[in-house]
């Protein structure tokens, strides 16, 4: 610490004047001690710390500057770099790096009338044994320099993958419906059978609209709706909204308008689905989690023909 202090002052005052000023103080350091420290080769630990810090800084920058020590530690191991988690924590503190903290955001959907409301088929049990068994959907908002922009997302509960999304300047039904259409198209385009899928949302009018219900029915999906005014009934979707607002919106803003937010959302979702590590999935990305599921499913033999 004493050597570092001298180094921080030497450009302005010079080494000798600083050493002289420190004489007869608790920070006193002998000139021979200072110069020996400057000429002494770096220790093996110091060299490794420097190398690891470079890798840690790169991982942090490549992941929206949001990873804390836990995720960086897991990513280092995924890249074949053996290191203790306490070492990662120490080096991140020294480099001034930290994970991103999330704030809670208010809800955006307006409750629809109670007439014909679907039942709650989820009961706060946000688990699934495989993809396309349970989706959750919700809306959020972003302030831009030209007004509010709204975003709708559809999330697969099994893998946390964002299967559908849309951003727009209004909260009309088409915002949520376009996100649903994207989700259905993407999954069916990859050969998925959505028959029996449960689609869960809050009571917002966008999700209770006739056109939205019709698109679910066409795909063979069943609607599920949480109770009035209870955010826990759609907790997983709201948790993603909080993540999106923290990791992208507040972290990379301010935003000029719809176009730049839309492009940034495209890039964020690509990172989120394909590269972001998720602790709930064993610290692998959603796409990798689904790929592992597909690899472990038993292969059904085709029917015999005469």
Per-residue pLDDT reduced to its tens digit, 65-112: 999 999 999 999 999 999 999 999 999 999 999 998 765 544 455 544
Number of H helices, E strands in the chain: 13, 5
The reported pLDDT for the residue numbered 102 is: 66
Q: How many CB atoms lie within 10 A of CB 10?
A: 15
Q: What angle do CA 276, 190, 234 make, to 5 degrees?
A: 55
120: burial class by Cβ within 10 Å (0-12, 13-18, 19+)?
A: middle
Q: Show Cβ contacts of residue 144 under 8 Å, excluding neighbours closer than 6 positions.
A: 254, 255, 256, 257, 258, 261
H/E stretch holding 198: strand 198-201
The reported pLDDT for the residue numbered 298 is: 64
Per-residue pLDDT reduced to its tens digit, 255-275: 999 999 999 999 999 999 999
pLDDT band at 37 (very low <50, low <70, confident <90, very high): confident
- Does residue 234 carry a pLDDT above 80? yes
Q: Model-level pTM greater than 0.85?
A: no
Do the beta carbons of residue 180 and residue 153 sit within 8 Å?
Answer: no
Q: Show Cβ contacts of residue 252 under 8 Å, excluding neighbours closer than 6 positions.
A: 64, 264
Nearest-angstrom CA–CA distance, 203 and 138:
10
Q: How many CB atoms lie within 10 A of CB 208?
A: 23
The average confidence (pLDDT) of the chain is 87
> What strand order describes the sheet that includes 222-225?
162-168, 147-156, 134-144, 198-201, 222-225
Q: Show Cβ contacts of residue 45 under 8 Å, excluding neighbours closer than 6 positions.
A: none
Nearest-angstrom CA–CA distance, 161 and 292:
14
Nearest-angstrom CA–CA distance, 163 and 152:
11
The reported pLDDT for the residue numbered 230 is: 60
Q: What is the mean pLDDT of residues 124-144?
A: 95
pLDDT band at 306 (very low <50, low <70, confident <90, very high): very low
Q: For residue 116, what is the DSSP state?
A: T
């Amino acid at each position: 610490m004493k050597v570092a202090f001298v180094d921080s002052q030497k450009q302005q005052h010079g080494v000798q004047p600083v050493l002289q000023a420190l004489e007869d103080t608790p920070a006193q350091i002998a000139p021979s001690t200072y110069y020996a420290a400057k000429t002494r080769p770096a220790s093996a630990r110091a060299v490794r710390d420097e190398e690891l810090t470079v890798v840690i800084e790169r991982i942090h920058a490549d992941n929206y500057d949001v990873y804390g020590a836990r995720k960086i530690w897991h990513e280092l191991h995924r890249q074949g770099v053996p290191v203790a988690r306490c070492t990662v924590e120490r080096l991140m503190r020294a480099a001034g790096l930290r994970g991103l903290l999330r704030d809670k955001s208010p809800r955006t959907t307006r409750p629809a009338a109670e007439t014909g409301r679907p039942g709650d088929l989820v009961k706060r049990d946000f688990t699934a044994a495989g993809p396309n068994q349970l989706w959750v959907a919700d809306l959020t908002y972003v302030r831009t320099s030209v007004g509010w922009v709204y975003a709708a997302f559809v999330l697969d509960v099994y893998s946390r993958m964002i299967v559908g999304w849309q951003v727009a300047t209004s909260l009309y039904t088409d915002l949520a419906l376009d996100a649903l259409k994207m989700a259905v198209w993407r999954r069916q385009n990859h050969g998925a059978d959505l028959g029996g899928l449960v689609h869960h949302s809050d009571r917002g009018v966008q999700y209770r609209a006739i056109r939205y219900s019709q698109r679910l029915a066409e795909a063979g999906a069943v609607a599920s709706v949480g109770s009035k005014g209870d955010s826990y009934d759609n907790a997983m979707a709201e948790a993603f909204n909080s993540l999106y607002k923290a990791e992208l919106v507040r972290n990379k803003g301010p935003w000029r308008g719809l176009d730049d937010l839309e492009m940034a959302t495209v890039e964020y979702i690509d990172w989120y689905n394909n590269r972001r590590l998720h602790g709930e999935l064993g610290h692998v990305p959603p796409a990798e989690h689904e790929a592992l599921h597909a690899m472990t499913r038993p292969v059904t033999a085709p029917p015999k023909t005469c």
